[in-house]
Amino acid sequence: MKKLPHPDPISGASYSAVELAPANDHVVMMDQRRLPTDERYEELETVQAVVDAIADMVVRGAPAIGISAAYGMVLASHEIRGDYVKGMIEAGKLLKAARPTAVNLAWAVDKMIDEAKSHASLKAGERMERMAEAARQIHREDVAANHEMGRLGAARIEDGATILTHCNAGALATGGYGTALGVIRAAHEAGKKIKVLADETRPYLQGSRLTAWELHQDGIDVELITDASAASFFGRDEVAMAVVGSDRIEANGDVANKIGTYGVACLAKAHGKPFYVAAPWSTVDEACADGPSIPIEQRNAREVTHVGDAQLAPTGVTVRNPAFDVTPAELVTAIFTERGVIEPVGPDAVRRLSPNE
C-alpha cells in the first residue's frame, strides 16, 4: 500500500507518520521499519496495537509518538466498559510505558486524560468525538509549531551553508514538516542553496533510512555520511552548523536526543560552529531539573550485533546500547521552539519562554 490511505492528512504532505481515520475508528500509521524501500501503511484498531507500534518503532520520533499516543487514547475511548476515567488512565499507563525517554508521549497522554475527565459525563459517542478532536488538535498544533520553529531556525542559515544533522527529526518524526528538518525545509523554501550532511545514525540508521529518504523526496541536496566521518568533515571546515531534534529538554536547557548527538555537539564546539536544537514546547520538561534525571532507553543487543539477518559481532558478546544521550546546555547555541528562541541556553531563557510564567 504506497498511497497514504487518508483523504485529508493533517501532515499536509503526501505521506504521514500517523493520522486518525475520518471515522475515528482506526489509526493509519506508516511502518517506518520498512523504509527506505517500502512505503507501507498499517491500520491499527486498538490501543494495544498503538502501544506495540510505539514499542516496536513502527512509529518513532518524539512528537510523532506523542501524537500516536493521543490517537491511541481515542481508540481506548471506544474500548472502555465501566469507569470511563479509570479506563482512560489505565490505557494512558500502557502508552506511557511503551518508550521512556521522549517526554512528548507522557505529555500527550496527560492532555488526553484531562480531556476525558472534562467530558466524562457525556454519552459514549460524544466522548469519542471529543477525544478525536482533542487528539487532532495536538497533531495540528505540532505541525504549526514545526513551521514556526522552522521559520526562526532558517533565519540562522546562510545561503550556501552545509548543515549536519543526526538521526531523523523530520516529517516522519513529527505530525508533519519536522523540527530539525523543518528548519532545513524552511531554508530551502526561502530559496537558500543549502546542503545537508546526514549522519547515518548507528545502530538503528534513522539518518540513512529516514532523513536521506525525506530530503531526497523534497529535492534537498543531501549527502549521507557515516557517523565516524563527521569529525573529519568538521575538521575540513565543510560544516557550517549542526541542527538536531530532541526527545526531552530539561529546565536547565540540557538536551536529550538520539545517541551520538552529544558527540556532534562536542565537534561543533571544538570547531567553533553553532549547534542548534529545534523542538516544540511539548518536548520541554520543566519538571526535570537536569540531564542525569532523564530516563535513557536501553535497547536490545541485536540492533548492534546484527544488520538485518547479517551478524556483525561474535555470538554472546556483551553489548551496551543506550538509545539516547544528553548534551549539556553549555554546548547548545540556541533552541528553536514555537514560543521563540531559547538563547543563551540555560534555566533563565527556558523560564522566560515558559507558558507557566
C-beta of 237: minimal distance to ligand MRU in Å? Answer: 25
The binding track of 195-214 with respect to ligand MRU, each residue x by CB under 6 A or -, is -----------x--------
Find the binder of ligand MRU among 27, 35, 44, 63 (CB under 6 A): 63
What are the phi and psi torsion angles at 238 (to 5°)?
Answer: -95, -5
Cα 272 to Cα 51, 265, 266, 277: the distances in Å are 42, 10, 10, 16
Asked if 266 and 82 touch (Cβ cutoff 8 Å), the reply is no
Q: Is 245 in the site for ligand MRU (CB under 6 A)?
A: yes
Q: Is 92 in the site for ligand MRU (CB under 6 A)?
A: no
C-beta of 264: minimal distance to ligand MRU in Å? Answer: 11
CA contacts within 13 A on the Cβ side of 138: 32
Element at 255 (helix H, strand E): strand 255-258
Contacting range for ligand MRU; rule: CB under 6 A; set: 43-51, 147-155, 165-173, 217-225:
165-173
Query: What residue has cell string 504521514?
Result: 16
Cα 9 to Cα 24, 144, 338: the distances in Å are 13, 14, 21
- Find the angle CA(117)-CA(120)-CA(124) to the nearest 5 degrees: 135
Q: Is 11 in the site for ligand MRU (CB under 6 A)?
A: no
Q: Is 67 in the site for ligand MRU (CB under 6 A)?
A: no
Total number of residues that touch ligand MRU (CB under 6 A) = 18
247 belongs to the catalytic site = yes
Find the binder of ligand MRU among 247, 285, 325, 338 (CB under 6 A): 247
What are the phi and psi torsion angles at 342 (to 5°)?
Answer: -80, 110
Query: What residue has cell string 475508528?
Result: 25
Q: Is 106 in the site for ligand MRU (CB under 6 A)?
A: no
Q: Is 284 in the site for ligand MRU (CB under 6 A)?
A: no
Query: Which positions are catalytic?
Result: 247
Chain positions contacting ligand MRU, by CB under 6 A = 60-63, 102, 167, 169, 173-174, 179, 206, 244-247, 257-258, 323
